[in-house]
Amino acid sequence: MRSAGVPKGFLHHLALQLLRQRPMSGSEIMDQLQEYTDWRPSPGSMYPLLSLLQDEGLIRPHEDGDPNLKRFTLTEAGLQEINELTVHSQHMRNRNKSMRKIYWRLHMEMPEALYDSFSGFMDAFEVAYAAYKCDPAKALKLKGVLDRAKGELEEKEV
């Protein structure tokens, strides 16, 4: 079974995002990507990318005391690039909405009215999460909303 292609520049973006969280080796980045996306880039993609990012001054080796594992960390230039990429997050949201619609409307044949409600819910969740993610109490409230909605969907009489 062939998986869908990865958009150009996506691995570059994801590697920097992951390195923003903590220092990682190429294999750790590949593991994390597989966990998040069910796609594992090949070493032939990952290691040349890490070399390029290092040459561009976006990452540097991280000194962590493990001589058997070469981890990398973001430089100030790498952090600045990540911050600039977040300006383009609307583009990523739009692509996500397009993929969501293709999957639910076309592939799963969801009726338009049901999709409109579902899509509206997802959009409202995204806005709420963006507003609440820095406030643990509000995030917990949002989790409660989701848990209640999940419970209602799991009831046999929906």
**Last residue within a domain, chosen from 69, 87, 105:** 87
Q: What is the pLDDT, as a whole number, of residue 4?
A: 55
**Last residue within a domain, chosen from 31, 54, 87:** 87
Domain contains 3: no
Are 31 and 52 part of one and the same domain?
yes
Q: What is the pLDDT, as a whole number, of residue 1?
A: 46
The enclosing domain of 56 has a CATH number of 1.10.10.10
Domain contains 5: no
**Last residue within a domain, chosen from 52, 72, 87:** 87
Our count of domains for the chain comes to 2
The full DSSP string for 75-134 is -HHHHHHHHHHGGGHHHHHHHHHHHHHIIIIIIS---HHHHHHHHHHHHHHHHHHHHHTT
How far is 8 from 84, CA to CA, in rounded Å? Answer: 18
Q: What is the pLDDT, as a whole number, of residue 10?
A: 84
Are 62 and 102 part of one and the same domain?
no
Q: What is the pLDDT, as a whole number, of residue 158?
A: 61
Domain contains 77: yes
Tokens found for residue 30: 């590949």
Could you list the pLDDT tens digit for every one of the 158 residues in the chain? 445 566 678 899 899 999 999 999 999 999 999 998 888 999 999 999 999 999 999 999 998 777 888 999 999 999 999 988 777 777 778 888 999 999 999 999 999 999 999 999 999 998 888 888 889 999 999 999 999 999 999 986 66
Are 66 and 104 part of one and the same domain?
no
Are 47 and 29 part of one and the same domain?
yes
Q: What is the pLDDT, as a whole number, of residue 130?
A: 85
Give the Cβ contact number of residue 30 at 10 Å.
Answer: 22
Q: What is the pLDDT, as a whole number, of residue 131?
A: 85
Are 108 and 133 part of one and the same domain?
yes
Are 40 and 109 part of one and the same domain?
no
Question: Which structural domain range is residue 105 located in?
Answer: 88-154
Are 36 and 75 part of one and the same domain?
yes
Are 145 and 93 part of one and the same domain?
yes
